C-alpha cells in the first residue's frame, strides 16, 4: 500500500503565544505545502487562542545537535562558574550590584 501513498512532508510548528514572547516549538504536522502547514497548524495547535503568530519549518531543514555530542558542546560551561554573578562575593555593605 505504501508506494502510491501521497506522503505529505513533515513540518515543525512554532507558536508565539503572545506579543513580546519568542516562538516556541509545539509539535509537528503533515502538509502538502507551507501555506497548508500554516492553516493546519492554526487548527491543530491554536484552537484556544494559544498563539498570535505561527512559524512552520520543513522538518528536514532542521539540523539538530546530537545527544552524543552533548559533553563536548555543553560540559565546558560547568567549570566556568565565574560567568555567573553569584561567583563574586560582595561586602555586606554593598547590597545590589
Partner 1 sequence: MIETQEHLRKEFDAYVAADKKIEPKDWMPDAYRKTLIRQISQHAHSEIVGMLPEGQWITRAPSLQRKAILLAKVQDEAGHGLYLYSAAETLGVDRADLVDDLLSGKAKYSSIFNYPSLTWADIGAIGWLVDGAAIMNQVPLCRCSYGPYARAMTRVCKEESFHQRQGYSIMMQLMKGTDAQKEMAQDALNRWWWPALMMFGPSDSESMHSSQNMKWNIKRFSNDELRQRMVDMTVPQAECIGLKMPDSDLKWNEDKGGHDFGEIDWTEFYDVIAGNGICNKERLEDRNKAHDDGEWVRDAAVAYSEKRNANK
Nearer of residues 4 and 95 to partner 1, judged by Cβ: 4
Cα–Cα distance for residue pair 55/64, rounded to 1 Å: 18
Nearer of residues 5 and 83 to partner 1, judged by Cβ: 5
**What strands lie across the sheet with 23-30, from one edge to the other?**
23-30, 10-16, 53-58
Q: How near is the Cβ of 95 to partner 1 at its closest, in Å?
A: 37
CB burial string 6-23: b at 16+ within 10 A, e below = eeeeebbbbbbbeeeeee
Nearer of residues 76 and 91 to partner 1, judged by Cβ: 76
Binding site for partner 1 (CB under 8 A): 1-2, 5-8, 10, 27-33, 36, 43-44, 47-48, 64, 66-67
| Enclosing H/E stretch for 52 | none
Q: How near is the Cβ of 53 to partner 1 at its closest, in Å?
A: 19
Amino acid at each position: 500500500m505504501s508506494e502510491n501513498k501521497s506522503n505529505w512532508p513533515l513540518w515543525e510548528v512554532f507558536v508565539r503565544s503572545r506579543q513580546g514572547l519568542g516562538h516556541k516549538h509545539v509539535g509537528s504536522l503533515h502538509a502538502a505545502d507551507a501555506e497548508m502547514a500554516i492553516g493546519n497548524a492554526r487548527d491543530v495547535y491554536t484552537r484556544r487562542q494559544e498563539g498570535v503568530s505561527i512559524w512552520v519549518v520543513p522538518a528536514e531543514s532542521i539540523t539538530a545537535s546530537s545527544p552524543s555530542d552533548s559533553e563536548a558542546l555543553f560540559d565546558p560551561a560547568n567549570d566556568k562558574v565565574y560567568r555567573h554573578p553569584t561567583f563574586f562575593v560582595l561586602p555586606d555593605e554593598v547590597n545590589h550590584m
